[in-house]
Chain A
Amino acid sequence: MVTSATAPAVFDLEARLDLYRVQLTLRKFEARAYDLFLENLVKGTSHLSLGQEAIAAGVAAAMRPDDWTFATYRGHAHTLARGVPMTPVMAELLGRTNGLMAGKGGSMHLTSVEHGVMGSYAIIGAHLPIACGAAWSAQYRGTDQVAVCFFGDGSVNIGAFHEALNFAAIWKLPVVFICENNLWMEYTRTSEVTAVANPAADRASAYGLESIIVDGNDAEAVYAVASAAIERARAGEGPSMIEATTYRHGGHSRADPGKYRPDSEVAEWLAKDPIPRYRAFLLEVGATEEQLVAIEEDVTAAVERAVDEAKAGDVPGEEYLMKDLWADGGSSWRN
């Protein structure tokens, strides 16, 4: 287990305050998105990263702007952490034309190619092979870009996971797989349906990879292991897999209150909430209360601004319906 105690002290205070700001942004964005669901402004479903923010924030801090992320349907945090502005993400949730994809993708498919966010994928495990493809492209073209692929603990029992890991290993692809182990699939505890105790890490050796587990509620610890893995990939030394232990504060998705989890377990993990924990740590390492409050006020205002801007977006008209199936911009299948 890698913890913050073993993480290298690579952060100066300014970088730490940035990392706090990113985590807080993810937290407040998700909380606000949840409000908007309750107001029925966000339709359909959504999967929040409340409680898991340290992973997206820590990994993003370790990435270069031209690296790629491949996220899951629980991908708001991973998208925002790469620097995608909040307004188009919120507008996408609201189904507006100023959304990242003008409302055509929705919460589960956030993509922003200009930020290296190469999609959020809602079929469990499917994006692991796709991330391998991006890594293959970097390897073939001789760039030193790295593909980072997030997935949940429930993904480790699907075939695509195993195909992708073997494939990445034999081709020594520059890809980093990051399992966000929040202990629960949807309603079922992952350990009840998984043959090994550590769903990703215990499978690593089957593909010749090191077994790495990190405290996923510690952004700096995540940053440390992610940096090492990314640099390894960049240097042509092949893939890595990181299992980051965490917990989702809410249910699996919008309609799930998460009542199947014991109260004591939820309480235990709420006490390990990455954000208050990092706040306390920042005060220990020299941040002032005033600095932190200023960030908090800033972030709150920025989220509110994003909500207002998103709400002000237009509802997409018919002109969006039939466009961009094909590369020519249209959707015609016949002459």
Chain B
Amino acid sequence: MAQLTYREAIARGIAQEMQRDQSVVMIGEDIGAAGGVFKGTVGLFDEFGPLRVRDTPISEQAILGAAMGAAMTGLRPIAEIMFADFFAVCWDIVANEIAKSRYMTNGQVSFPLVIRSGNGGGLRFGAQHSQSVENWAMMVPGLKVVVPSNAVDVIGLMAASVRDNDPVIFLEEKALYASKMDVPDGEIVDELGKASVLRQGADATMVALGNMVPRSMAAAEKLAEEGIDCTVVDLRSLVPLDVTTVLREVGSTGHLFTVEENPRLLGWGAELASIVAEEAFYDLDGPIVRITTPHIPLPAADALEDMAIPSVGRIVESVSKAMNA
């Protein structure tokens, strides 16, 4: 058992897979000797060398195109797009090429690749380096979307993503890079499409993702002091989506709150709300409430950014208001 940060867990998760499988290779900007701009790949260049941990020019289309071509010819690449906002400059490769080609070819090719990216706000980087883009990825048929909320999940879900034979968008929450937890020694392998129930309560169910998970847990503690006992579900992956766990946990409390960092419109909670409304309508004892970042680009100033992204205070207030309505 060792205490690891979320960022250290990334390198450990990748190393675990690279030690096991020679076909796992890494590609991205500054991931080699520099260890990544967020220091998520520290040590991998030294351990696996320049042929397996390859630095690239600032060419996001080339990075992801290369990952795709390599994946269809026998490798299992892990590509890095430094900031998730940068997906906008290479989205053709993601959404038109990688996501569609297996279906279009009637299954002739598969794309066992992982695209890691630093996602979300909290670091005061302004609108072009802070957006939570999980909803961009979720709405493209053919992509799996994984967002870990803690170090152990980073390792286990990284292993599951690398071993998966489909393309996985692996979003690392920038605001969580410094968060720490105890991590067991030895191999950790998880499963995609399994939500975790982190807290069981009788009154309301909060479903959260990534950086919103620890905030929802903190909010649940405060709400308990007010006498509102919350379940907290960490979705962990958007595709595959663990609808079963959500329906079960909503069914047991009768209330659903989604806690989302993505901008409001068509955030993942909208899909979840639609599913619950369709399939568990009669289990609900009140309206479904979505707690999201407003539909704006993220501002840079810390005061403004803190107002935009759902905070513990805002989560508590929203849940409390709805439960006492």
Contact = CB atoms under 8 A, between A and B. Distances in A.
Given A126-B96, A129-B93, A335-B242, A326 B105 contact: no
Contacts of A112: 108
A45 interface: no
Contact of B70 (A100, A137, A334): A137
A335 B243 contact: yes
A171 B55 CA distance: 10
Contacts of A141: 74-75
B75 A140 contact: yes
Given A327-B110, A334-B240, A160 B105 contact: no
Contact of B240 (A102, A159, A323, A332): A332
Contacts of B54: 171
B66 A167 contact: yes
Contact of A133 (B71, B96, B164, B193): B71
B230 to A, nearest CB: 23
Interface stretch (B35-43, B56-64, B219-227): B56-64
B211 to A, nearest CB: 23
Interface in B140-190: 141-142, 164-166
Given A166-B62, A324-B102, A333-B241, A126 B92 contact: yes
A123 B70 contact: no
Given A141-B75, A325-B103, A327-B165, A160 B141 contact: no
B277 interface: no
A164 B62 contact: yes
Nearest to A108: B104
A331 B102 CA distance: 11
B51 A140 contact: yes
Nearest to B105: A111
Interface residues of A, number: 52
A316 B275 CA distance: 30
Q: How large is the interface on B (under 10, 10 to 19, 20 to 34, 35 or more residues)?
A: 35 or more
Given A126-B97, A134-B69, A335-B244, A119 B75 contact: no
A159 B61 contact: yes
Interface in A217-270: none
Interface in B18-56: 25, 51, 54, 56
Contact of A121 (B97, B164, B275): B97
Contacts of B165: 326-328
Contacts of B112: 327
A80 interface: no
Contacts of A335: 193, 240-244
Contacts of A159: 61
Given A326-B102, A334-B243, A163 B59 contact: yes
B93 A68 contact: no
A112 B105 CA distance: 8
Contacts of B102: 324-327
B265 interface: no
Contacts of B60: 163
A132 interface: yes
Nearest to A114: B108
A94 interface: no
Given A134-B73, A140-B25, A327 B166 contact: yes
Interface string A183-224: 000000000000000000000000000000000000000000
Greatest chain B CB density within 10 A among A109, A113, A160 is at A160
B300 interface: no
B324 interface: no
Interface in B223-245: 239-244
Contacts of B72: 118, 130, 133-134
A147 interface: yes
Given A140-B51, A333-B240, A335-B243, A324 B71 contact: no
Contacts of A325: 102-103, 141-142
B104 A111 contact: yes
A109 B103 contact: no
B31 to A, nearest CB: 15
Greatest chain A CB density within 10 A among B62, B96, B97, B243 is at B62
Interface of B: 25, 51, 54, 56-57, 59-62, 64-75, 77, 92-93, 96-97, 101-110, 112, 141-142, 164-166, 193, 239-244, 275
20 contacts: A102-B106, A104-B104, A111-B105, A113-B105, A113-B109, A121-B97, A128-B65, A130-B66, A130-B69, A130-B97, A131-B69, A133-B70, A141-B74, A163-B62, A163-B65, A167-B57, A324-B102, A325-B141, A326-B102, A334-B243
Top 8 closest A-B pairs, CB basis? A133-B69, A129-B65, A327-B165, A324-B107, A133-B66, A163-B59, A163-B62, A101-B106
